[in-house]
Structure 1
């Protein structure tokens, strides 16, 4: 492998002191990541990654495969991120790379997002679909999602198990298909069952757990042998405190790990399935936050070794060997979160992803035998740590005394006093903000704005009561939390009350427009990127999807009330400049939301600008669309807030 600069030298260079940050090009922040989905082959000899390209004859992203020893590269796949977008990479074995992709489509007049799984054979240098055409021809319909891997079967590397619908009576009732990647042969190892939406295998590759869903009811079943009768383990309603979600098995086929609530917060337990009482033994819990992430399983040690979550820090390992490795990384890469994302099959080589609020993300290749660690790729190559703004954690009280966590990013070299400010509520809304790197926040800060991101009630990670407080609360207490955060900044003297703009994407776009309508004197301007403008229409639009009842449980089903809590019903109250942006191929929030909001504001002669992004999806996956969005933001905010750097 080509050796790069010594690690310590690189670290010192990246952390040179700078009093103020120069204004960087929009492209430095708004381009899609230079590199993502870095994957190490099982033998530790090859690296695959998704790489952004911007050449005269080649634009978009490519799949790149590099031989670590020789440096030889190949590019088996390219996309312009319009017809389809690469989601992830995964090695099935040393010779076959699996590539997951999505693309927009329509089914019977309903806009959908379709997923597919293709394989690249390093020997034949050919790319083809994982699912044979002969399988699809026998299905009752063509499945919307065709890339749901449930078992890579590391000890049987030529075969994988997929979860696939199309054989049952209803959409979403999956079977389990075994596919031979070398020969293309396939067979069903588990037939579809009524209302079973997913399956989980044990470490012996037997289908053991099934998840049943009927409206808002979930049931977890276990079968001692696949295709045999099942027994009910747990039953619960959506958003209930007695939920028990299976995560996976240990090497012992009777030991199942689950996520369930412990003292009001989600935690990790293990259950012995031979125990008639199904006693849940606590394995890992945080004191005042939910435990998220997936199980970390060592195929070499044949045991669960941790969880891919660490209470805002690195992954949590339960084995001393891995804790020692992680501590060594912390010593070499301080002031960052260092995630060991992958090991080779013998666990001697590994990949580390290192990031923080001021570290845009660097991938490292580690070799435990040679005791070396080398940087191999930067996620955002034009952004240097010394030019980025620090983010601080703080809390404030909502009007009902509920504590709200928040993050404040202040432009580098400026004092947090009377600053032009961006209020930036997150999307989801069952999501959350953290002090990890955020390219939106850093872009705004580089332009001279303080950036305030709050985890309003309903945000993920704060326990059952906090999550429950956000149910059916659009435009109500959730919106109050955003407003109260804005007033907190004003009271603290951090924000200039005459120069505050509320900006958001998806649910955040909804919150931005509602802020403009409900408190028109609080904000100078508002920006909605792919935002919801009609909540009633949002819920009704999910009628043809299998999660319709769950959506109504989360958002509500009183359509008159939901419309009244929609920005489009309050357009006449908006008197500040508004910028709307939306992709015309958005399959999460339909483009009609922004189109109709624009028409309504325009008819009322309100100050509004609308930019529709051609072939744009909900996530700004296309580089040109992302750049257009950020350039429009840059001009709009400068025109309305006039920052002084």
Structure 2
């Protein structure tokens, strides 16, 4: 079964500084859990003999590595980015000798930051680096934020790809060669020679193109704008019949209301589009014929939760199954061979019940997959179907390999109105689960949910002796329309009420000591933590908020100069809930210490949100500590920053709740 972990030692030697440099930590736990995941993205070469993966280097930097899948341990670094601000997001093979990577950057913009992306290509040996995204001219009439995305890897083309292109018009005064096209189009691009051929001409309203995996664009998404050229949140999807060029309407999607068929993939042989749509208040998977009949077929539904993910495999990204989350993430395979294979892998890896297929060779003989659990952060494997051999490649978090992690238990608790709220409870390993310091940790989003599995933040606090409760409060996604209500901002009273009831449940069950109950959250979770302290002063004895929303009107203001301003406005809504649900406006009601963290290049939640919150708390004479990270984004992808954040938050919680410092 196990032939050895390729290059684990070699990679460790190359990237060791990623978890030993930086500010000194009080605890070894902070170093281990603050280390970034050792595989940030991974892809399998078309012949199945090599993988390319991103791995963290020192601080926020990352490297691109290539390794053999034969267990030889040969690993080479071919590219790196410092993370401040250029960040590597993903890399995949365009051929057996050519790799494409996405690089992302942010630039300061008012109270937040604005993001840019570019695609580059390079050889598997790191040579012949080229910018794959088109270069912009000094005559351009605006910035090109989107450097394009790969929509078809063209397996038969050996290095050509189909990618979207954002065409930016140019000033034409004094020239006859100015670019006049505007909007999103599609080009076929050579990753070695940079040849470019327009496949779809630019359209001002286009936002998405979907191919059939064989180089033919079959579906296009176009935004619906108002009279002032602002987005409305609606997308019109059109399709082409086989061998046709004209567009016929497929569906109208309202992204905020969650109504309408949302296409994700096209199957050429079946001549259908797969996508998600509502059914009885939940999301189900459908397929629609693209022959002009619009014949619609229900493919899969679940009576309790939303069906929310496609399983796609191979370089043509064919649809082979669907995923959904009940207490745990589940998979339903349509492909009989893969269904049998998944069952076999489940038996072969009984301690790693979460399995996710990542990539495949051209012939689909070799499959790259990840497997993990609540107490195993995961490991990567290659399965050779002909040889019937599973080869373990590398660990997701090697620094935790010898650490005993805490089990995660799905539970439910009663809200004030009697509704059962699903949640996950993590107790310190070896604990009796009674009279502990405890943390309620609401998830981000709000359009998200927690799932069973490894969570580095929850596991850190469990390792430090805290019980951690992660509630999927009303306002979370995954449980249908009635559970989502109007989203966690418009319906914040319900969402925050559920979060607070989770804290009360911990005390009532005897899990939490009443005077040692805190709340910690990231993004929307940080908002929920602060708003909980506003609505229930004293329930939680300390608040830690990471990259939080703090004022709903300030969040609205962040988009005022962009075309999505009315989409954000509609999402937040208007009425008393805006002022009542903005913790920065009620800082005087918060009676417990607050600790804030935020990166100044955050494009999700502007850093101004935390700056305002900290100022309001100080002006109200409240106890607040604010840490701002320079050149980091919403996710604080920096081992030094995360290590320091974990250490500081642990020390802050202990001091706020009258607990002694914990030794390793």
TM-score scaled by structure 2? 0.88
Instruction: Name 2:252's counterpart in structure 1.
Output: 235
Instruction: Name 2:534's counterpart in structure 1.
Output: 517
Mapped partners of 2:624, 2:416: distance in 1: 31
Report the Cα offset of residue 467 of structure 1: 2.0
Which deviates further from its counterpart, 509-518 or 540-549? Answer: 540-549
Structure 2 residue aligned with 1:244, among 243, 261, 274? 261
Structure-2 change in CA distance of 1:156 and 1:542 (3 Å): same
Structure-2 change in CA distance of 1:583 and 1:106 (3 Å): closer
Gaps of 5+ in 1: 7-22
Q: Secondary structure at the match of 1:476?
A: helix
Q: Secondary structure at the match of 2:612?
A: helix
Mapped partners of 1:400, 1:470: distance in 2: 19
Structure-2 change in CA distance of 1:329 and 1:506 (3 Å): same
Report if the CA contact (8 A) 1:248-1:258 is conserved: yes
Report if the CA contact (8 A) 1:208-1:226 is conserved: no
Report the Cα offset of residue 74 of structure 1: 2.3
Report if the CA contact (8 A) 1:168-1:193 is conserved: no
Query: Is 1:178 aligned to residue 188 of structure 2?
Result: yes
Report the Cα offset of residue 444 of structure 1: 0.5
Q: Secondary structure at the match of 1:489?
A: helix
Instruction: Name 1:94's counterpart in structure 2.
Output: 96
Structure-2 change in CA distance of 1:201 and 1:26 (3 Å): same
Structure 2 residue aligned with 1:305, among 320, 330, 354? 320
Report if the CA contact (8 A) 1:24-1:446 is conserved: no
Mapped partners of 1:536, 1:225: distance in 2: 48
Query: Is 1:28 aligned to residue 45 of structure 2?
Result: no
Mapped partners of 2:391, 2:61: distance in 1: 27
Report if the CA contact (8 A) 1:474-1:555 is conserved: no
Report the Cα offset of residue 474 of structure 1: 5.2
Mapped partners of 1:109, 1:51: distance in 2: 31
Query: Is 1:428 aligned to residue 438 of structure 2?
Result: no
Instruction: Name 1:489's counterpart in structure 2.
Output: 506
Deviations 1:506-542 (A, max 9, x none): 1111111111121112011101111111111101211
Q: Aligned runs of 1:109-128 on 2, under 5 Å? A: 111-122=113-124, 125-128=127-130
Instruction: Name 2:212's counterpart in structure 1.
Output: 202
Structure-2 change in CA distance of 1:67 and 1:4 (3 Å): closer
Instruction: Name 2:155's counterpart in structure 1.
Output: 154
Gaps of 5+ in 2: 7-26, 171-179, 225-231
Report if the CA contact (8 A) 2:446-2:488 is conserved: no
Structure-2 change in CA distance of 1:132 and 1:123 (3 Å): farther
Report if the CA contact (8 A) 1:82-1:622 is conserved: no
Report if the CA contact (8 A) 2:241-2:291 is conserved: no
Instruction: Name 2:557's counterpart in structure 1.
Output: 540
Instruction: Name 1:63's counterpart in structure 2.
Output: 64
Mapped partners of 1:468, 1:561: distance in 2: 14
Report if the CA contact (8 A) 2:521-2:544 is conserved: yes
Instruction: Name 1:631's counterpart in structure 2.
Output: 647
Report if the CA contact (8 A) 1:2-1:71 is conserved: no
Q: Aligned runs of 1:101-500 on 2, under 5 Å? A: 101-106=103-108, 111-122=113-124, 125-133=127-135, 140-167=141-168, 173-214=183-224, 215-224=232-241, 228-240=245-257, 242-252=259-269, 254-276=271-293, 278-298=294-314, 304-307=319-322, 312-313=328-329, 315-336=331-352, 337-384=354-401, 387-470=404-487, 472-473=489-490, 475-500=492-517
Aligned-pair Cα RMSD in Å: 2.8
TM-score scaled by structure 1? 0.90
Structure-2 change in CA distance of 1:514 and 1:117 (3 Å): same
Query: Is 1:640 aligned to residue 641 of structure 2?
Result: no
Report the Cα offset of residue 45 of structure 1: 1.1
Report the Cα offset of residue 554 of structure 1: 2.1
Mapped partners of 2:126, 2:234: distance in 1: 47
Report the Cα offset of residue 223 of structure 1: 2.8
After TM superposition, which residue ranges in structure 1, 4 or more long, deviate above 4 angstroms?
Answer: 106-110, 135-140, 167-172, 297-300, 308-311
Q: Which fold has the larger relative contact order, with Cα–Cα distance below 8 Å and residues 6 or more apart in sequence?
A: 2
Q: Secondary structure at the match of 2:308?
A: coil
Structure-2 change in CA distance of 1:2 and 1:76 (3 Å): farther
Q: What is the aligned length?
A: 622
